Amino acid sequence: VIMRRVLPPALAKRLLASVDSQLVTSLAAVAAGSNEHLFGASAPPAAHVPNRWNVLLPLDELMQASLARVLEIAAPVLSRSVGADAELCDLSALVTDPGASAQRVHFDTRFSPDASENGELPPEAAAPPETSTDHADGCTDRTDGCTDRADGSTDFVSGSIERTGGAGGGADESTGGAIDGAGVSAERGAGDGAGGDADG
């Protein structure tokens, strides 16, 4: 389910800047050896994949405002999907910079019971398509699970932040963003100021 324009543009922009800032803080803490509460900056597969980080996010005032806005709109869908008593257990952002290899397996990748018991990857994860397919509506299937649109925006199906700058680049260098664990994503084209989406 993808819900468009869930976050107002200004809130989505602040959230994206916060994620960029948290990445810089997390990387510095991990480099200093203090990563016990920053699993996201060093947890596999991020430790083995250049230019990709899974960053644990603080449940601060900005994050609470963002989650409250998402829940105002997405509560009925979430309730039907996970029940009214569901708890938020993980709040993180998958940050991907240019040069990162495609992430073949995501937290929501479907495994068959037989394959998962044998530790095998599902066919779509083991042998993902290497080519893009253009559609009449302007969308493109990408190997990283995202969908590019002709207007420059991106649907973040699996939850990732794609940026044009290197690690810690400013929010103005960003082309999009998402908060993976919360199912919140900010969708921005080339300066179009689009608001956030909720996906899940």
Hunting for tokens 């597969």 — which residue is that? 45
What is the reported pTM?
0.50
pLDDT per residue as tens digits for the range 34-47: 765 565 444 444 45
Whether 146 and 155 have beta carbons less than 8 Å apart is answered as yes
Residue count of the chain: 200
Give me the phi and psi of 185, to 5 degrees please.
-135, 145
Measured between alpha carbons, how far is 59 from 3 in angstroms, rounded to an integer? 22
Distance, C-alpha 29 to centroid of its chain: 22
pLDDT per residue as tens digits for the range 91-100: 888 888 777 7
| Domain map (residue ranges) of the chain | 2-100+131-199
Helices (H), the chain: 9-31, 39-42, 61-82, 113-117, 123-126
